[in-house]
Structure 1
């Protein structure tokens, strides 16, 4: 385990990079709210996970809001950026490309089982090269391959005006502003913005805003916030309206979706 800042577009970490003999390495960072690990890439894959706190991971035109019950798999060579939405104990699990638990170039949202969490914690406590490190690494790789993926993703646009709107709404998911209101803020007509939402994101403004609100819901629910308060925090008219939209998107009620926490 090691602690270090990330400041380079391309990381070269001799001594920390995973190898065929040591395919799993772990880097720990305890970060305050609103810290940024600038966009970078590396030859190995990475599981981005926070023991506590909430982080936002951005890769290409997608962004994920990640609470402690979830992690993001970032494939090798993918440029990614990590921002803390609140104070977080970040644990980055580096995985050698030959041992990657997932194939392809797509990021995966992972459900972090209690076992996987404890394995990651245990890996922070071993010394480099110990036999225990190899055993923990093998178990982590096996548990990762069994992790259930969850579709919590917020698409991001390329157009600068639309991207500004999206960034502002991610920061204020409960905002009641209409598309006309946002148009005045970003310097484009509502009609232009509506067309850009459909062209670049494949959905309407309202649909995209729902995605953002549901992504923000995960950290709130995982901390045990009552659903009625979650609904109010995110701008829903009622708890039932929030629960209905959640079930429509994820195929489960919020309580069922997060039942592993209770278990």
Structure 2
């Protein structure tokens, strides 16, 4: 496996990087646009105040949503101690450190000093619950597929269970064991992920709220703000 690269890679809307892996760790950050990382365990989505941690050996692929300025930081060490992908909060200082470190013109001792500060900031970056795990049981996978096709589908767990030929108790148990969260939590994660992608494509906030299943734009704005720390109207003007 090659080492994870460091540098800048602009991506057009809808462009991607096919499935691959590295023998070193990597921080993946879109300082403009939205980036998703997908493995066999699920999908992680990160706007401009989040970064994605990709541990060494993880087979993953990327997709850009909106005009995306991708920054890649390859790391030989594991400053986070994480052996699984994760989404991390990126504050103003960490953002500028990543941008500077992945830009041209840094060499030698200056580059090493900048990396040291970047790693210090990275160790204190809190992990964010923005993982959309993938179901493996065919019954749960079928129920999840219904909502992937239409996040605005308001079916109860009982109704979904009937559609896929099982019971609501079975689906609830599978959600906990396979997804690590309740069904309502997973549905909210799915809707937030889809909302980020639609916003990156320039879809108006009110339309996004409707397509993703919120009863009103104000309800969507409230949930989005609590999840990401800013309103959807500011998502791509930061």
SS in 1 for 2:66: coil
Aligned match of 2:220: 242
How high is the TM-score relative to the length of structure 1?
0.68
Greater per-residue strand proportion: 2
Superposition pairs of residues 1-263 of structure 1, within 5 angstroms: 11-13=1-3, 26-97=6-77, 100-127=78-105, 129-159=107-137, 163=141, 166=144, 169-170=147-148, 172-174=150-152, 189-192=163-166, 195=170, 198-199=173-174, 200-201=178-179, 206-218=184-196, 230-242=208-220, 246=223, 253=226, 257-258=229-230
CA distance in 2, matches of 1:135, 1:142: 11
Long gaps (5+) in structure 2: none
2:19–2:59 Cα contact (<8 Å) kept: yes
Count the aligned residue pairs: 231
Specify whether residues 254 and 57 from structure 1 end up closer, same or farther in structure 2 by C-alpha distance, changes over 3 A only: closer
Alignment root-mean-square deviation, CA: 3.8
**In structure 2, do the counterparts of structure 1 residues 112 and 204 end up closer, same or farther at CA, with 3 Å as the change threshold?**
closer
CA, structure 1 residues 39+75, in 2 after alignment: closer, same or farther (shift >3 Å)?
A: same
Shift of 1:223: 10
Instruction: Point out where structure 1 has 5 or more consecutive residues left out of the alignment.
Output: 1-10, 18-24
Query: With structure 2 as the length reference, what TM-score do the two structures score?
Result: 0.75
* Counterparts in 2 of 1:132 and 1:110: CA distance versus 1, 3 Å: same
